[in-house]
Structures are given as C-alpha cells and as structure tokens.
Amino acid sequence: MTELWLVRHGQTDWNRAGRYQGQSDVPLNETGRQQAFSVAAQLAGGAFDALFSSDLCRALETATVIGAAIGLPVIQDARLREIDQGDWEGMLVEEIRLRYAAEWALRQGDAGSVRPPGGESVEEVAARVYSALDEIALRYPDGRIVVVCHGLAIATVVCHVRGLPVSRAYDVIPPNALPERVTWR
C-alpha cells in the first residue's frame, strides 16, 4: 500500500472571503504562505519518496515550500486540480444561491453528480484524482508520497478511504495546509 500525505494548499484571499475558487489560478495570501512554511516544517523530518502537486499556483507554491523542506522536486499533475466550478467560480455561496437557485437546489439534492453550469461534478473530480493516485501508487507501491492539491479533491479521497459516498465530499473538506495521511489501494 502506498502511504499518501495529502496537503491542501495554504489560504488564499478567496478562501478567506468564502469565494468558490475552482480552477481559477488564485495565489496564496500571506497567511497561506505562513501555512505553507508551517506544514513544510511538520513534514521536514519525514522520509518521502516523491512530491506531487496540482499545477494551480496556490498548490504549486505550497508544494515548492514543502519540497525545499523535504529535499524533493515537485512533480506537477493537472489531474490533481480542484473541481471546475464553471460559472460559479469567483462567486460567494450567497450569490450562487440567488443567481442560480434552481441549479443550487439540484446540487444540494445530488452533490455527487450535478455540475455547476459550465463546470464538472464531484464524481468527475474523483475519477481524475483517483486516476492520478492510482498511477502514483503503481509507481511507488510501498512509497511515502506527499500530494499537495485542493480541498474538494482531497475530500473525494477521504470519502473513498472512509467508505463514504463521494456525494459527501463537501462534508469532509480539510482545512488549509494540514497534512492527512491515508493509504491508497
């Protein structure tokens, strides 16, 4: 079994404001940079075999700081990106509820398969993230791997390892920059 250390990127201004970031390339804010150094210090004593990251700048910056602390280069994989929130990216939840009331209601009823307009479903996120992790596990079958990505992407993995339906992903989104260890396949 491959041991994965999943790390959600550090905070961004959009996180702080409660905006849906999705695949918008929003950078870390100062708190997020401090969080990146803090999680890097937590991981610094560990012996890891590889470091993977989403290619979005908030994850990549977090991973770069971690990589310097653990002595590994960052391997980018776009499959580790956050959900594509489509037309909802950059919006606050209250704005979405008002402007997209019908779509919001549908997603609240079926969080796994309903897509925001122009975006992707949680099930689609899970499929691409699992594909990336399966390849990592094949490459490092008994390895210890750090994976830096995004809240909902990590939540789909947490659902899988806990035996929860992927529709519960929004209930288990981790906080920024706190490592979560799981074993994968």
- Which of 111, 126, 130 is CA-nearest to residue 168? 111
Active site residues: 9, 150
Q: What are phi and psi of 7, to 5 degrees?
A: -130, 120
Q: Rounded CA gap, 99 and 97, in Å?
A: 6
Tokens matching residue 37: 């150094």
Burial classification of residue 157, based on how many CB atoms lie within 10 Å of its CB (0-12 exposed, 13-18 middle, 19 or more buried): buried
Short-list 76, 177, 83, 87, CA closest to 128:
83
DSSP letter at 76 equals E
DSSP for 22-33, written as a single string? TTS-PPB-HHHH
Q: How far is residue 53's CA from residue 148's CA, in Å, rounded to a whole number?
A: 5
